Structure 1
């Protein structure tokens, strides 16, 4: 039976019979489309893994990771509860708002966070900023600030503006952090002494403390100092060793006790407060009623009414002033500091962290939270507890929710002096005294910048202080760009000809172009010898610089004095050549210099 074969590209005949085709070729369009689609899929997959980091580690998640995350998550959960209650006081808010800030962000960060060690939640610095920006106007302002901060961070992430934190230099950051730490400590002195004192900045707080110091409550003071001593001792104990170093079990147990010091102290002092309450009255102040249960899930309020004064959304945003920008930036700064501390040399994706903490803050605003970020102290606990992935935040969030549902009735017995001691014990180590000596040895102007930022933050508001530091830092950078260091030497070529070597140490752009030109002309007129500008360190130039070079070459041509450019990079040369410069002479070795000197002599003879 004869079988009729179909076209070479069709493996089936009209009857459905399959035929072997040894010369089967796919159309080029199909191949190109398949390759194009495959490339597109790879790009999409790469973007998804980059922007949703959970997709990269979840397929490889195992029991070891689960155990590590469980232990770390529980440990951080026990740490965040007392800190959240304490930071609410720093933010000028009732204690429950710290707890509201401590759970939903942990859940969001699981999916978007790029650093396993980051412990999302309230931080001391952001709490202080919230207090200063909102001026104690109430939770409505703090919650709205949380939403706006998250939106700003998301926009910065989408627009790739994470580089903005690079303008907050090390000295500015050190000055700001140290000042914030002192303000935080000062704000807790009133609770440590059991007195009344108000104020947002350092001077106002201490003025209030001095005025009411005569009303110090003995038992608050005794309890607060005792708690502070215990916390500092337990902090020392927490450094005795880690499980990986092979230390004895009793030392590991001591270390765990040291890590959990805040939770242990709150439980013990809360029990003491409860005991005295059953007797009738406590001899020290306690934090009082804390609402039980989950917060209402709702958007922030966009209007505010207080003392018969009604404010709309625009009024509220206006009252928040620069805090809408400063709070998101410093939140990012804290988070990036944590990421870098535990990155082990790996690069940190600031854009991804902006997206992560931005969405965390937006989510927190719907459960009545105030702005939060990655907390360095809790992140250190997270790391030392053996966290494996960001899933550790799940257990931290569950513990906070459990506390909201079952333990809030007992929080009211916690002494205020205990929470004050917890904050002070953490904040005093934020004062960066250790950087003073290295800054003095390395560059005294950096130390001056740190001190200016430090003092400004103390005497004014924090956002004004750090803004001042950033502006001064930019001015220093611009001044250095406008006044590059220039070395001038008299040299000899290989054939013994003298020439003046001028070496700028950085790029030639519009702020510095005239300065370099004037200096070159001044030096060249003193010595009527050829001038060589060493361009080895000039890695960039602009149109203004090109016009200045054009003027410079014409001036040298008029005076019939040789001017050469040594080792000019092609990218810079193209900027200069774009103006069709006359007598623009470039060389790259000493032999070429000798040839150029000869040619120049010939040119001058013809003029």
Structure 2
């Protein structure tokens, strides 16, 4: 459909035709262009009767004079549309159609995840070096907020092992106040990344680096729990120090704790493997009902294995306590009741030393950036794994996670995100919407209200076994084979990340891995592969055909110049034209254009012409902006043959197709 825009600026713009698509995005870009023209040239745009273009209930500005006010009004209406509301607040999308059947599925899934998250939350508090109730507080508000803003039904929000470890490494002397402030600041960073659409930054963490980081973090988390598994009281802050402390105090190992811990590990592994039993997957028409019941029972035992082990071990510890003996190291007092709602601590005092907000932020350091990035990475991974073909809105996930952390910080929470292990439970339980997290949070709230006296008797060895088994399956050694077979060089950033995390700090390790990956990317950009071959025209004139395999930008232009120069001399073709096939050059910059100008000048000094072909229009504009006089290019092989043949006779007269298909410019170059 074609509509007329009558544009007048001292009778300069008249009868301009603009093609209006039914595509909203294309039309919207044209509206931006019109707005810019108005701002720059004070152009009056009169819209004809046919300009109105509907998009649902939205209409482009009316046929009268187009003004900035009307443009802003239109976009305000679009931003406040029902579609946008449902996209940014997904609960409005599914809640009107929320049925009893869906509610039952969400309730069962939420209950199952709730039974899983209670022992995990207490255990992850231990990983973070925080009181047990902090992990439970971290599981309350986040699920409610994510039910409103989240887009992945399978992502259960709460504390995770990796975030617990990062808190442990970075809170230093700030204690609980540092963990809560880190939760708040992480939410702010995640929210800012969502608003600014910075999700692409996550793409700079490659698969091998992410796997190496996760595996190293899992080993460190498991290592921090070995002391509790063995009944030792000597803490350590890093991988090497923990094992050093264990070696120095190996004679102090507690037999009962050790027995309890290893027995719990065996039970957890057996229950985890139980649901994968081939026998339980078999059945026939005669016993299918029996097998369904058996499978259901085994699945429930396997899913709630953490709670089952914790309850049994706590019962054993309580039995000993009631007899007046205490052979196990217990969790101890857990503050009962719900947390109070208050602002995050923007200042604190530790051992008589006062810390302002800036002091606390300085102490937390790079964790303010690393924690939110890794939280987003974890949450996005869960959404991607269980997306079932649906596209994932990374911006919405960042916004949702930001709101979750900010809101959670008001109830004394450590940083939260989705956990892959709980996501697997959630998905297997048949969750249908993000509202399943609300039921999980209710289970945690009830446990805080009524069960905290019983948490006292949970042996630390049992909690350590829960964590060790959970993180053991995060160590992904199986990816080494595929990496070795596909691209061996990827093992370099992976190894650097793994050992950097183990022997320094997590944020340093992943920083090293990302830096090495970026160095590889920059090297690939600076050293494009260039195909060089000798060719002939239809009438037999020689020329040297150069084909770079990617864009020519400022890091690579000198390399390209040197390769082309050496190739023309090495092949003994210093007197024949050089043709640069730019079919793979998608972009160029000023430095590249300047380099091409120098290359053309160098070759012209020895009477050797350079001709470009298959150039994108944007690249033509860039090159001609620096070198409009001697820049020669062809669009087809017929033009190229004609051009080379003309060069062979020392004169070229070439018609060059510029940006407008109806506008031709003639170049004449004398050699």
Give the TM-score of the pair, scaled to structure 2.
0.83
Deviations 1:420-453 (A, max 9, x none): 0000001111111011111111111111110011
Which residue in the other structure is 1:194 paired with? Answer: 231
For residues 569 and 485 of structure 1, what CA distance do their matches in structure 2 show? 19
Which residue in the other structure is 2:558 paired with? Answer: 514
The alignment status of 1:71 with 2:108, answered yes or no, reads yes
Which residue in the other structure is 1:575 paired with? Answer: 622
Question: What are the equivalent positions in structure 2 for 1:5-44 lying under 5 Å apart?
Answer: 35-36=59-60, 41=77, 43=79, 44=81
For residues 58 and 483 of structure 2, what CA distance do their matches in structure 1 show? 59
Contact 1:231 1:261 (C-alpha < 8 Å) held by counterparts:
yes
Which residue in the other structure is 1:395 paired with? Answer: 439
Q: Give the Å deviation of 1:41.
A: 4.5
For residues 579 and 382 of structure 1, what CA distance do their matches in structure 2 show? 59
Which residue in the other structure is 1:275 paired with? Answer: 319
Deviations 1:450-486 (A, max 9, x none): 0011000111011111111112211111111111122
Q: Give the Å deviation of 1:178.
A: 0.8
For residues 648 and 532 of structure 2, what CA distance do their matches in structure 1 show? 23
Which residue in the other structure is 2:339 paired with? Answer: 295
Q: How big is the alpha-carbon RMSD for the aligned residues of Structure 1 and Structure 2? A: 2.3
Which gives a bigger RCO, structure 1 or 2 (Cα 8 Å, sep 6+)?
1
Deviations 1:326-359 (A, max 9, x none): 1111111111111111112322212111111111
Q: Give the Å deviation of 1:39.
A: 8.3
Give the alignment partner of residue 356 of structure 2, picking from 312, 337, 350: 312
Which residue in the other structure is 2:583 paired with? Answer: 536
The alignment status of 1:149 with 2:186, answered yes or no, reads yes
For residues 59 and 207 of structure 1, what CA distance do their matches in structure 2 show? 58
Contact 1:334 1:375 (C-alpha < 8 Å) held by counterparts:
yes
For residues 244 and 109 of structure 1, what CA distance do their matches in structure 2 show? 39
Secondary structure of the structure 1 residue equivalent to 2:424: helix
Which residue in the other structure is 2:4 paired with? Answer: none
Give the alignment partner of residue 546 of structure 1, picking from 593, 598, 613: 593
Contact 1:86 1:95 (C-alpha < 8 Å) held by counterparts:
yes
For residues 100 and 544 of structure 2, what CA distance do their matches in structure 1 show? 71
Secondary structure of the structure 2 residue equivalent to 1:564: strand
Deviations 1:102-158 (A, max 9, x none): 011000000000111110000010000000011264111111111111111111111
Change (3 A) 1:580 1:306: closer
Deviations 1:207-233 (A, max 9, x none): 111111111001111110010011011
Which residue in the other structure is 2:509 paired with? Answer: 465
Which residue in the other structure is 1:368 paired with? Answer: 412
Give the alignment partner of residue 139 of structure 1, picking from 162, 168, 176: 176
Secondary structure of the structure 1 residue equivalent to 2:233: coil
For residues 313 and 243 of structure 1, what CA distance do their matches in structure 2 show? 60
Q: Give the Å deviation of 1:575.
A: 1.2
For residues 198 and 495 of structure 1, what CA distance do their matches in structure 2 show? 83
For residues 246 and 296 of structure 2, what CA distance do their matches in structure 1 show? 41
For residues 542 and 236 of structure 2, what CA distance do their matches in structure 1 show? 69
Q: Give the Å deviation of 1:498.
A: 2.8
Secondary structure of the structure 2 residue equivalent to 1:180: helix
Contact 2:538 2:641 (C-alpha < 8 Å) held by counterparts:
yes
Which residue in the other structure is 1:94 paired with? Answer: 131
Secondary structure of the structure 1 residue equivalent to 2:297: helix
Which residue in the other structure is 1:591 paired with? Answer: 638
The alignment status of 1:565 with 2:602, answered yes or no, reads no
Which residue in the other structure is 1:483 paired with? Answer: 527
Give the alignment partner of residue 325 of structure 1, picking from 369, 374, 395: 369
Give the alignment partner of residue 238 of structure 1, picking from 267, 275, 284: 275
Report which stretch shifted further, 114-123 or 342-351. Answer: 342-351
The alignment status of 1:419 with 2:453, answered yes or no, reads no
For residues 172 and 282 of structure 2, what CA distance do their matches in structure 1 show? 45
Secondary structure of the structure 1 residue equivalent to 2:531: strand
Q: Give the Å deviation of 1:371.
A: 0.2
Secondary structure of the structure 1 residue equivalent to 2:555: helix
Which residue in the other structure is 1:183 paired with? Answer: 220
- Mark the runs of 5 or more structure 2 residues left unpaired by the alignment: 1-48, 61-72, 653-669
Question: What are the equivalent positions in structure 2 for 1:349-364 lying under 5 Å apart?
Answer: 349-364=393-408
Aligned length: 581
The alignment status of 1:227 with 2:253, answered yes or no, reads no
Give the TM-score of the pair, scaled to structure 1.
0.92
Contact 1:242 1:255 (C-alpha < 8 Å) held by counterparts:
no
The alignment status of 1:496 with 2:553, answered yes or no, reads no
Q: Give the Å deviation of 1:603.
A: 4.0
Contact 1:92 1:136 (C-alpha < 8 Å) held by counterparts:
no
Secondary structure of the structure 1 residue equivalent to 2:556: helix
Give the alignment partner of residue 450 of structure 2, picking from 382, 388, 406: 406
Q: Give the Å deviation of 1:404.
A: 0.1
